[in-house]
Structures are given as structure tokens and as C-alpha cells.
Amino acid sequence: MPTNDPTATPIAGSAGPGPYLPPATQPVRAVVWVIHLALPLLGLWLLLAHHDRINVKWQHNPSHFWLIIAVAGINMILGAMISQASARRSDARLLLVSLVFLSSAGFFLLHGLTTPKMILPGPNYGFDLSQPVGLFVASGFAFASALPLGDRAAAVVLRSQAWLRGGLVLLLVAWGVLSLIPGLTPLSSKPPEQGAGLGGAELLGLVLYGAAAVLLFRLHRRRPAAMLISLITAYALLAEAMLAGMYHRNWHLSWWLWHLLLTFAFVFVAYGAHIQSRREGGTAGLFDSVALAATVRRVRADYERALEELVGHLRRRADSRVPVATRLAGKFGLTEAQAAVLDRAGEALANERELSERLAALVDLGNRARVGLPEDELLVQSLDRARQAYGDVRIALVSDGRVALGSAEYREADFPAGGPIRANGSVIHPLTVKGRLAGALRVPVGRTSQDDALAAALAGQMSISLENVRLYRELETLFRQYMSPDVAKSLLADPRTAELGGELVELTALFADLKGFTTFSERVAPGEIVEMLNRYHTAAVPIILGNGGTIVQFVGDALLALFNAPARQADHAEAAARAGLAMQEAAAEIVAEAPGYPRFRIGINTGPALVGNIGSPQLRGFNAMGDCVNVAARLEGIAEPGTVVIGQNTLDRIGPHARVRSLGELSLKGKEKPVHAYVLSGLS
């Protein structure tokens, strides 16, 4: 039973601090409830304690007869309703609860039919025993219904339902025949003056009712519901009725009391069912709260599948002669008003999910505009993702100042103030890059109130993605023309790599310049100097980059390349050696075509160096500093044109693969100790 009580704490097992305390078990309400159940027992005690003055005898056979017939009839209807619910849900607990009411109502009816001087001429055993027997039989079903039946036990009960129902019907028919035919059995004979009872069986029934009420109350604590409270109260009243009936003072007020208790028990459940049916607008799920936990989970799963079906139909806006809510109403026994509410709720949920999916698509589109992603790939991926959330989205880019979408063409002037154009249930938004028309996006609208805003957001995100990918492409082209690709890639991927500072790295430095460049420059025109340098650098740069090197300086005819920085290379010394030899081969081909050109001389050295961004906050460059780089420059200075000179550290890293000629120990400028150098002639 839902509650708005602010004092109720969360259900056990949830994130709340304590167990759930349903409204019916709040302290004040619990006290009132207990008082209501205790009052009949107090009245019974008063009647029995003051038997002569209060517990008077009142015998009116017709009143008894019609009261019992009416109450038993109502209770039989209630039992049939619960039985129908048990069949619809295939639930063992509901089956057992229905047998509680059918058995107690059936024997109550037989008790009424055996009222003396109505059908039978006088008092009889059947009149005295019918109701105690009915209450005892019902107590067994009540106790079984309150047990936490597992799947296997529930299956056994359901498989036995024909036997249970058939056995109860057979017992009622046999009891009726034996009680209502005069002289046939002792049941239709006159009982003793003190009345007839069941002895110890009545005490057992009392215990079973009490245990059933306690077990159901524990269930109610975990799963509060109005019908559970009604059923708990009914079981408690049936126990009190059995207790009151044990005193066998026929026609006295204490005897009428247990009739009233039975009546109240039946009416209480019927009234609870009536209130809940009015609250829910129907009787389809009236007794679901009493069902087993497995049945409740199955019912909830059915409702979830039904709601998903409804949402799916609403999202597809599927055409059907019968609305999907109406079909589900027939499946679940809902009223017309409930079907209308379900339809509106499903549509609201569908719209909410559609909004969530579109917002998720916008986030995905923003994540797709990555560095280095080609424009065509970006558009294909973005369009596929947008169609999943938005429907039939179309996109086209500008060609010759026009955008062709289907059979229509649009120019920049066709979009008023840069706004969208409406056409046939769609909205067409311009895509802009740097404030100029770059394309157009067509998005279907009109299904929800947020469609226009979401379409505008999609167009804005697509424009940003398109502008980003083109900007990245321009920056990458520009960077790669002015710096090494490894440095450009690092900066584009993470601009923080441009911060001033460096790290100590073992690397191999390659210095190269053109021997005789100054003399050559004095005797030729400046244009020929530029042509010569471009030919050499055009040949050298691809060789260095192809071997994993990073060119960090062009100074006139000289260049500096680093290997193992910033990109790491395990064989950086050998890679630098391969690059130096290949550069000399390419230079030899150039000189063969232009005999007057100067020749490369190359120096290579390996060792630790400080690598990073060097300069100022306004202008900086990627470079390396250290003795390793200085020695490479000195080795390049002593190298003969067309040769590659390497240091001892480089040879050690290359190993026996290098074919070298030793130059011995050399005294280099700025070095206190001599440096052993070698002329590299090849790599095996």
C-alpha cells in the first residue's frame, strides 16, 4: 500500500538507515489496530464473567438463518474472486487463501442451513459442529498460505489444486447431505444440552490462525499492502471467532459474538478489496500484493515488458487499427481510464527516452571530432550516430557555392539570418565553418515539443565538428611544413607538450652541412643558392624522417636531426647511421647531375642530452642541448665531403654491423679528453 507518510523509513536492504515501517504499523496506528482486535476478546471475557447478568440468551431463528446466508454468500463470492486471481497468476498462495474463504464460507453456509426450525425441525449436531469444523479446515489453509513457499513447494500446491478444490467441494457436499437429511446420521440428530465441540482441535486451529497472522505481518513489513493488512485482520478475527465458539453457549450473546467476528472478518476483506479496487480503478491486480514473491516478480516483469512494448510502438508511431494501450488493457484487464493513463504515461516515457538518446548522440558526436580524423570518416560516423537517435537525418556539403539536399538546392542567402528552413516535416539547418556556409543538415521534426531545439543542437554540434576537423587538418599541414611530424603530432594531440622545459634522454644527434658552401655562394646568384639547398634538403628530409629522425634545425646549409627524441627508438644509433649513409648516396646523385655543387659532410654521436622546449613564453623551439650534440657538431666539422664520421658511443650501440675506419683519438674543440672517431662506410 503506497504511503505519503513522511515518517516512513526506507525498505530494508535499500540505502536508508533502517527497515521500512509501513503506515499500518506506525506506533499510534498499531495501537489502535491492536485495540480493535482486543475489544472482542474483552467483550467475550465480560460476557462469560457475568454470565447471569450480561450474557443473556436471545434466540431468533429467522434472523440467524438470513444473516448467515447473506454473509456466507458474500464470502463465497470473495473466495471465488481470489480463486480466479490465483488461476490468472498461477500463484499457490492465492490458491490457498481462496480455500481459506471458500471452506470457512461453505461451512458457515451449512451452519445457517441447519438453523433449527428453518429446514430441520429442531436442534442438531450439524448446527453445532459446522462452523467449528469449517474454521478448523480453514486454519490449515491459512497457515499454509502464510508460509514462504519456494518454487518447488508452490509447484506442488498448484499441481494439487484440482484435488484440493475437489476434496473441499466433496467434503462440503457430504457434510451438507449428512446434516440436512433428518435421521440419516447423528449430524442431523439432537446434540447434548451443553453443545458439541472439537476439543483439542479448536486449540490447534487457534494456534494456526495466530501463526498465519504473524507470518503475513512479517511479509507486510517487507512488502506493505492494504490487502495484506485486511488478510492479517481477517485471520486474527477468525482466530477470535474460534475462541469465542469454544464455549458452546448457543443463542447467548457470547455465541452471537463469534458470528459477528466471522462476519467482520469476511466484511473486512471485502471492504479492503472494494477500497483498493476503487483506488486502482479495476480488479485485475487486486490480490497481487498477497501473491508469492516469484509471482510479484513475474507480474512486474510482465508490466515492464508491456510498457516496453508500448514505448516501442509509440517511438515508432506504428499505425494500427487498435491502439497498443487498448491491446495491453485487454491483456492485463485494465479499465478504459487506466488504458488512457497508460497511453499518456507510455508516450511521456517514450519522449523522455528519445530526448535522452538524442542528448547522448550529441555527446558522442562531440567525442568523435578527434585529431587526425579524416573529414569523410567524421561525416559518415556522425551521420550514422545521428540517425540512430534523430531518424532520417541527411547531410550535404557545399559545392560551387550550393548545397544539394535531394532535389532541392540551397545557397547561403537562402537561410534567413543564418536560421533554419522548414520543409515537409523537416527542418534544414546551415552548417557553417568560420562563419561561412559549409553544408546543410536536414532533421525530421514535429514529433515532440523539443524537436526544434534538439535539431538546432545537432546542427550546431555538426558545425563545430566540421570546423574542428578542418582546423586540425590546416594546423597539421601548417605544423608539418615548419617542424618535424613527431613534434607537430605531439603538439596537436596535447598542447601541454609545448610548455617550456625538458628531460634528460639518451639520443643520437646527426649534424650535416655542405663543405664549400661559402665559396659556392660567392660565385653564383642567390636564386641558384636557394635551388641548390632545396634540392639537397628535399632529398635529405624524407631520408631522416623515414628512419624515425626528428629535424630540429635548419641553419643555412646545415641541419640537426635527433633520433630517439621526441619519439622513442630502440635502435636510434643504427637508424641515424642508415640515414647518414643514405643522405650521402642521395647527395652523390645530385652532384653527378650538378658537378659544381658542394658535398655533404655528416657527424653522428650518441649520448645523453637535455631535450625539450627551449626559448621564452613568446617564442620557443624544440631542441636538444648537451655534450652529445656538441661532439656531433665537432665530428661533422672534421669529416671529409661525402663521408659520415661517428663517435665511439655510436659505434658501441651499433655493434659489429658497422663497417668503419678508425681516425684514432682526436682532440676536439671544447673537449679536454680526446674522442675516438671513425669513418662509417656501411652497415652489414
Indicate the helix (H) or strand (E) that contains 172. Answer: helix 161-180
pLDDT at 285 over 60: no
Q: What is the 3-state secondary structure (H, E, C) of 36-80?
A: HHHHHHHHHHHHHHCCCCCCCECCCHHHHHHHHHHHHHHHHHHHH
d(CA 350, CA 328): 16
pLDDT at 346: 63
**Structure-block grid coordinates of residue 623:** 631542441
Query: What integer is the mean pLDDT of 67-90?
Result: 80
Q: Per CATH, the architecture of 369-482 is what? A: 2-Layer Sandwich (3.30)
pLDDT at 500: 46
Among the residue ranges 297-306, 554-563, 658-667, the one predicted with the least confidence is 297-306
**Structure-block grid coordinates of residue 413:** 542567402
pLDDT confidence bin for 125, thresholds 50/70/90: confident
CATH code of 40-282, in short, is 1.20.1070
pLDDT at 15 over 50: no
Contact 650, 573 (CB under 8 A): yes
Q: Write out pLDDT tens, residues 189-199.
A: 776 655 556 66
pLDDT at 606: 95
Which amino acid would we find at residue 602?
Answer: I
Q: Write out pLDDT tens, residues 606-646.
A: 999 988 877 666 666 678 888 999 999 999 999 999 999 99
Give percent of the chain with pLDDT exceeding 90: 14
**Structure-block grid coordinates of residue 377:** 570518416
CA-based end-to-end distance of the chain: 88
pLDDT at 414: 80
Query: Backbone phi, then psi, for 39, in 5-degree steps?
Result: -60, -45
Alpha-carbon distances of 292 from 98, 273, 295, 299, 443, rounded to whole Å? 14, 18, 5, 11, 49
Residue written as cell 479492503? Answer: 272
pLDDT at 288 over 80: no
**Structure-block grid coordinates of residue 312:** 516501442
Contact 215, 145 (CB under 8 A): no
Nearest-CA neighbor of 45 among 244, 186, 226? 244
Q: The CATH number of 499-683 is which of 3.40.50.1100, 1.10.3720.10, 3.30.70.1230, 3.40.50.720?
A: 3.30.70.1230
pLDDT at 555 over 70: yes
What sign has the CA pseudo-torsion 619, 621, 624, 630?
A: negative
pLDDT at 602 over 60: yes
Give percent of the chain with pLDDT exceeding 70: 69
pLDDT at 356: 75
pLDDT at 36 over 60: no
Query: What integer is the mean pLDDT of 444-449?
Result: 76
* Average pLDDT of the chain, as a whole number: 76
SS3 317: coil
Q: How many CB atoms lie within 10 A of CB 210?
A: 16
Q: Write out pLDDT tens, residues 452-501.
A: 888 788 778 887 777 777 777 766 665 555 455 555 555 555 444 445 45
User: Any alpha helices (H) in 281-414, and if so which ranges?
Assistant: 293-316, 324-332, 336-368, 375-390
Q: How many CB atoms lie within 10 A of CB 272?
A: 21
Specify the length of the chain in residues.
684
Alpha-carbon distances of 218 from 15, 21, 221, rounded to whole Å? 20, 11, 5
Which residues lie below 8 Å from residue 433, measured CB to CB, with a gap of 6+? Answer: 463, 466, 467, 470
Contact 263, 64 (CB under 8 A): no
d(CA 513, CA 633): 10
Instruction: Concatenate the DSSP letters of all residues of 499-520 into one string.
Output: SSEEEEEEEEEEEEEEETHHHH
pLDDT confidence bin for 237, thresholds 50/70/90: confident
Burial class (CB in 10 A: 0-12, 13-18, 19+), 140: middle
pLDDT at 581 over 90: yes
Q: How many CB atoms lie within 10 A of CB 202?
A: 18
Contact 512, 544 (CB under 8 A): no
pLDDT confidence bin for 18, thresholds 50/70/90: very low
pLDDT at 550 over 50: yes
Which residues lie below 8 Å from residue 588, measured CB to CB, with a gap of 6+? Answer: 599, 642
pLDDT at 645: 95
pLDDT confidence bin for 255, thresholds 50/70/90: low
What sign has the CA pseudo-torsion 282, 283, 289, 294?
A: negative
pLDDT at 576: 95
Alpha-carbon distances of 648 from 451, 604, 607, rounded to whole Å? 72, 10, 10
Highest mean pLDDT among 43-52, 217-226, 562-571: 562-571
pLDDT confidence bin for 74, thresholds 50/70/90: confident
Contact 295, 89 (CB under 8 A): yes
Query: What integer is the mean pLDDT of 28-53?
Result: 56
pLDDT at 316: 56
Per DSSP, 191 falls in state: P
User: Any alpha helices (H) in 547-647, and if so which ranges?
Assistant: 572-593, 627-638
Contact 26, 220 (CB under 8 A): no
pLDDT at 2 over 50: no
pLDDT at 282 over 70: no
d(CA 472, CA 492): 8
